[in-house]
Amino acid sequence: MEATHAHGAGHAHGDDHSHRPKGIMRWITTTNHKDIGTMYLWFSFAMFMVGGAMALIIRAELFQPGLQYVEPEFFNQMITLHGLIMVFGAIMPAFVGFANWMIPMMIGAPDMAFARMNNWSFWLLPPAGILLTASMFVPGGAAGTGWTLYPPLSIQMGIGMDMAIFAVHILGMSSIMGSINIVTTILNLRAPGMPLMRMPMFCWTWLITGYLLIAVMPVLAGAVTMILTDRHFGTSFFNAAGGGDPVLFQHIFWFFGHPEVYIIALPAFGVVSHVIPAFARKPIFGYTSMVYAIASIALISFIVWAHHMYVVGMPVAGQLYFMYATILIAVPTGVKVFNWVATMWRGSMTFETPMLFALGFLFLFTIGGFTGLVLSNTAVDVQLQDTYYVVAHFHYVMVAGALFSAFAAVYYWLPKWTGHMYDETLGQWHFWTSIVSFNIAFFPQHFLGLAGMPRRIPDYALQFTDFNQVSTVGAFGFGLSQLLFLYVVLKAIRGGEKAPAKPWEGATGLEWTLPSPPPYHSFEEPPVLTETKGHA
Amino acid sequence: MGMNNKTKSRLAGLALMAWSGMALAAWEFDFQTPATKAAQTVIDLHDLMMIIIFVIFIAVFAVMFYSVFAHRKSKGHPAAQFHDNTLVEIAWTVIPLLILVAMAWPATKAVLNMRDTSQADITIKATGYQWKWGYDYLKGEGEGIRFLSLTSTPAEQIRGTAPKGGNYLLETDRHVVVPVGKKIRVLTTATDVIHSWWVPALAVKQDAIPGYVRDTWFKAEKEGIYRGQCAELCGKDHAYMPVVVEVVSAEKYTKWVEEQKKQMAAAADEGGKTYSMDELKSRGEKVYAANCVACHQANGKGLPPAFPALDGSKIAKGPKADHIAIVLHGKPNTAMAAFGGQLGDGDIAAVVTYERNAWGNKTGDVVQPADIKAARK
């Protein structure tokens, strides 16, 4: 799809600028999708640093057997906050940030559908992030339950647990408002001549993710509210002595938790589905099957939750059902991987930083997918459940999957956002240091899990020492590499080679018809779409 | 020469053990040596999946990397513009599906076998406590035996002030002894939070859920000692509640059962005995070290606010009856467990006496087993 429209160099936006408050009030009161997108991304990066520091405390303690730096109760708080902050504070807001920045530009809209609600969805995040982080400093410390918050352990915790519950409530509200906004924007504000089946893949992934979020965030909110009332108001949802069942929480939590995995993964798929065609200079292969694959993954994700619970002692028929349903997810996921490879096939490829991260994503996410297949096998999972194998598996999916895709997105769109090209050499250094140190950190964890090391322990038996040391070295390397990322981004914001409207030769879509940086309101009048071959 | 053959072979054996021990200790990257057929099945299933995965992985990424090297702009490769191929797309949906069905079949058989806990020779209940395991032999030879099994790794090793032993963190004071070649059904439950009873070499992992009973089983093919750990995060000392199963011959097992019965008979009926303050205090100190020290600490200062201090506490210096009641029944919604079901009258009497007279608590109170027996009613 190509577009012709009226945006020229002399495009008049002076009216918007003069109304805007200056300084901090600009950011507090803004209803602009770009400002809000920027705030989401910086918030996400700040939380990424906090969660990353916690990961390094965990890895430092695990460098040797025995207790060296932290006490076990503090270690448990670190694993809990690391998980919650990375999932809810870093990865999810990052992709909401991309959605805010890019979706209006991709579909030819001036802004998001609900601009004021957009402001509110963002400004709910900082209090939640502060609640989570500050819970470390209250008497008894933060929740030490792991991010899964399983009762009855979560019933035993101190006030830090209540703060985590409240933070989850706020984050949930923010996510629900954000997704309603994104869904409405995509459904209602597309430029004339852009039917659903021709809209950019990133919009498709976010449309479906939006529905997933609206469906499952209330479920999580319900689950943590039940913990809250069990803790303080004498209910017994999860207490057998009062007629409840601790396992009920796990069912509710994972009914949220499994779709949550795809809430994180689908927008990542969307980004990669833009980057690979752009740098292969070839349209995405199998657009229609990609859309169907995303939709089937999303649907199946609702009916596989108990594969996180193979050892709770559910009936054997339940175990078999959840195994079969889980195995089924490999089919649409495989389709996506095959489609990306076919997109590259006979292309004319170049390997700038976004493409490198997209390839890193493809390679490592596939490893994470395959270990997921191993874990889906109930009999094998009985050995691997709650071991480091699982830790390795979901870090391949979350870090090498979602985070690498987020890096690809930042490098891909940074010239558009800032109007400057980033430093390509340093970007590639960031990629290579990240991918090497990531694998040093996480690949050995597969071995630890197979050999029988449980997860969530601050101390371990001697035979696990060697791989833990390797893993810790890799983790610190990965952490340091991210400082390079910060430097590259800051450098591009401050200056650099001027970016043209379309800095990537093979990129397609409306966002590249706007100048870099784009005007404050993306499209004040809908662009006119003329049909050409391929998809937007 | 001075060294006879026996000594030589012993030395050689020791050297071999040390070598294999070192080999075992370093770079462990695969499943532990299986001791049950189920554990072997898991390994076979895993290996089968890994082979299939490896083949697919190589195939997909061979195509990708070929493309990355051959179809690049720097080599002047022009971009093709195809973007659909229905036949190919159907093929790569259906073929993976068939492969997955083929993988699910042996997995189903393994799961059905793993979950068949019928016709067990011996049934043992494993109860998870924060942070130890309790065992009750419920059925079969050894019925009636019950004991607690605590980590025996000394705190000095954990804190790094003493060299770590070979079975660091994987050793307990009492082993779960079972006969070889018999089907052992393990019932799991817990009193406080969720734990998980896991022994890798036996391929047994079952959550222990407070208020509910789950079951699993194993049949060890080889005598030996098999070590595992709690696998579900259960609070502060989750890393310190190992599981050690000792598989012995049928004869040895019978002998072990007899010994246990004798010891238990001796320990029973303490209700009538009375002890001196010193006897109770020294016994109480040991009970405290085994059961209370993880939370309330050796110096009685606890780790407030989660784990309150006993030194100077209102409970330990207040009425005896309240103190006994909280030890017997625990405190709901906290980590304070009900020890009434775990410890005998003598041990509870001893530990309460100890707590009322240790550190700065100089109440002078003596609590006798008979007091506990009365309080239980």
CB B347 within 8 Å of CB B307: no
> In this model, does residue A351 exceed pLDDT 50?
yes
The β-bridge relationship of strands B146-149 and B132-139 is: antiparallel
The answer to whether residue A25 scores a pLDDT higher than 70 is yes
Q: Which residues pair with B210 in a beta bridge?
A: B190
Q: How confident is the model at residue B270 (pLDDT cuts 50, 70, 90)?
A: low
**Catalytic residue check, A471:** no
Q: Which residue of B has its CA nearest to A143?
A: B235
From A67, A312, A347, residue closest to B79, measured CB to CB: A347
How would residue A6 be classed by pLDDT, with cut points 50, 70 and 90? very low
Domains contained in chain A, number = 1
Angle at which helix A33-61 crosses helix A465-494, to 10 degrees, equals 150
Q: Which of A251, A281, A455, A521 is catalytic?
A: A455
Closest CA to B276 of B353, B191, B167: B353
Q: Of B183, B193, B46, which is closest to residue B114 (Cα–Cα)?
A: B183
- State which H helix or E strand residue A353 sits in: helix A353-376
Q: How confident is the model at residue A9 (pLDDT cuts 50, 70, 90)?
A: very low
Domain map (residue ranges) of chain B: 37-114, 122-267, 277-376
- Domain B37-114 in this protein, CATH class: mainly alpha
Contact A76 B41 (CB under 8 A): no
Q: Residue A104 pLDDT more than 90?
A: yes
Which CATH number does the domain housing residue A281 bear?
Answer: 1.20.210.10
Least confident of A6-10, A25-29, A217-221, B164-168: A6-10
Name the residue facing B83 among A284, A379, A380 (closest C-beta): A284
Asked, for residue A30, whether it belongs to a domain, the answer is no
Average pLDDT, chain A: 93
Measured distance CA(A343)–CA(A328) in Å, rounded? 24
A7 catalytically annotated: no
Q: What percentage of residues in chain B have a pLDDT greater than 70?
A: 92
Half-sphere exposure of A536 (CA within 13 A, CB side): 30
Residues 139-168 of A with CB under 8 A from B: 139-140, 144-146, 150-153, 155-158
pLDDT of residue B45: 96
pLDDT of B363? 87
Give me the residue from B63, B84, B238 closest to A457, CB to CB. Answer: B238
Sorting pLDDT into bands at 50, 70 and 90, what band is B346? confident
A23 belongs to a structural domain: no
Q: What was the pLDDT predicted at B162? A: 92
ipTM over 0.85: yes
What is chain B's mean pLDDT, rounded? Answer: 89
Q: Enter the tokens of residue A42.
A: 């910086």
The band of A23, judged by pLDDT with boundaries at 50, 70 and 90, is confident
Nearest chain B residue to A74 by CA distance is B236
Other C-beta atoms closer than 10 Å to the C-beta of A218 total 14
Cα–Cα distance for residue pair B231/B261, rounded to 1 Å: 31
CB contact (8 A) between residue B303 and residue A66: no
Res. A4: pLDDT tops 50: no
Give the model's confidence band at A73: pLDDT under 50 very low, under 70 low, under 90 confident, else very high.
Answer: very high
Q: A386–B231: do the CB atoms touch at under 8 Å?
A: yes
Fold matches, B37-114 and B277-376: no
Distance CA B341, CA B353 (A): 19
pLDDT at A200: 96
Contact A66 B228 (CB under 8 A): no
pLDDT of residue B273: 78
* Residue A249 Cα, gap to closest chain B Cα (Å): 12
Q: What is the DSSP letter of A22?
A: P
Contacts of A304 (CB under 8 A, 6+ apart): A258, A322, A325, A326, A329
Contacts of B245 in chain A (CB under 8 A): none
Instruction: Please give the model's pTM, rounded to 2 decimal places.
Output: 0.90
Amino acid B338: pLDDT = 86
Task: For residue range B274-316, list pLDDT tens digits in order.
Answer: 888 888 888 888 889 888 888 898 888 888 877 889 988 888 8
Segment B132-168, tens digit of pLDDT: 999 999 999 999 999 999 999 999 999 999 999 999 9
Is some CB atom of chain B closer than 8 A to the CB atom of A318? no
Residue A322 near residue B122, CB atoms below 8 Å: no
The DSSP element (H or E) to which B187 belongs, if any, is: strand B184-190
pLDDT of residue A8: 42
pLDDT beyond 80 at A247: yes
Q: Which amino acid is at A397?
A: V
| Nearest of B359, B345, B280 to residue B317 by alpha carbon | B359
Residue A205 resides in a domain: yes
Q: Note the pLDDT of residue B313.
A: 87
pLDDT (mean) for A495-511:
94
Evaluate whether residue A1 is within a structural domain. no
Contacts of B30 in chain A (CB under 8 A): 447, 450-451
What letter represents residue A384's amino acid? L
Residue at A536 is within a domain: no
Residues B205, A382: C-beta atoms closer than 8 Å:
yes
> Which of A309, A480, A305, A461 has the alpha carbon at shortest distance from A386?
A309
Chain A positions touching B234 (Cβ under 8 A) are 153
The rounded distance, in Å, linking the Cα atoms of A92 and A216 is: 14
Stretch B368-377: mean pLDDT:
86
Q: Which of A164-178, A342-356, B345-359 has the lowest mean pLDDT?
A: B345-359
Collapsing DSSP to helix, strand or coil, B196 comes out as: strand
Q: Is the pLDDT of residue A102 over 50?
A: yes
Tell me the β-bridge partners of B125.
Answer: B136, B187
| Interface probe with A: pick from B64, B215, B226, most Cβ of A within 10 Å | B64
- Of A283-287, A384-388, B270-274, the poorest mean pLDDT is in B270-274
Burial class (CB in 10 A: 0-12, 13-18, 19+), A525: exposed
Instruction: Out of A8-12, A260-264, B26-30, B296-300, give the one with best mean pLDDT.
Output: A260-264
CA distance A275 to A281: 10
Contacts of B166 in chain A (CB under 8 A): 462
Retrieve residue A386's tokens: 């709650």
pLDDT of residue B238: 96
In the prediction, which pLDDT does B268 show? 72
Taking the alpha carbons of A226, A232, A234, A239 in that order, is the dihedral positive or negative? positive
A463 close to B (CB below 8 A): yes
Residue (of A203, A192, A177) closest to A108 by Cα position? A192
Compute the average pLDDT of residues A122-141. 95
| Cβ-based neighbours of B4, under 8 Å, separated by 6 or more | none
So what's the pLDDT on residue A474? 97
User: Does the domain made of B122-267 have the CATH classification 1.10.287.3510?
Assistant: no
Q: Which two tokens stand for residue B50?
A: 């890994």
Contacts of B207 in chain A (CB under 8 A): 311-313
Distance separating the N- and C-terminal Cα atoms of chain B: 72
Is residue A381 domain-resident?
Answer: yes
Q: Which of A264, A259, A170 is nearest to A212 (CA)?
A: A259
**Comparison of pLDDT for B9 and B83, the residue scoring more:** B83
Distance from B371 to chain A by nearest Cα, in Å?
Answer: 27
B133 strand-pairing partners: B128, B149
Task: Residue window 296-315, chain A: list those with CB within 8 Å of chain B.
Answer: 311-313
Q: Residue for token digits 């409970």?
A: B315
Asked if the model's pLDDT at residue B1 lies above 70, the reply is no
Mean pLDDT of B214-238: 96
* Cβ atoms of B252 and A473 closer than 8 Å: no
Q: Is residue A24 one of the residues assigned to a domain? A: no
The class (CATH top level) of B277-376 is mainly alpha
Does A341 fall in a domain? yes
**Do strands B132-139 and B122-129 pair parallel, antiparallel, or not at all (unpaired)?**
antiparallel
All residues of chain B having their beta carbon less than 8 Å from the beta carbon of residue A231 are: 333
Our CA angle for A24, A28, A32, nearest 5°, is: 110
CA triplet B307, B312, B314: central angle to 5 degrees? 80
Give the per-residue pLDDT at A13.
45
Give the residues across from B303 on adjacent strands: B307
Chain-centre distance of CA A312, in angstroms? 28
For residue B123, what is the enclosing H or E element? strand B122-129
pLDDT at A454: 97
Q: Which of residues 215-234 of B touch A (CB under 8 A)?
A: 215, 227-234
Q: Domain of A132?
A: 35-530
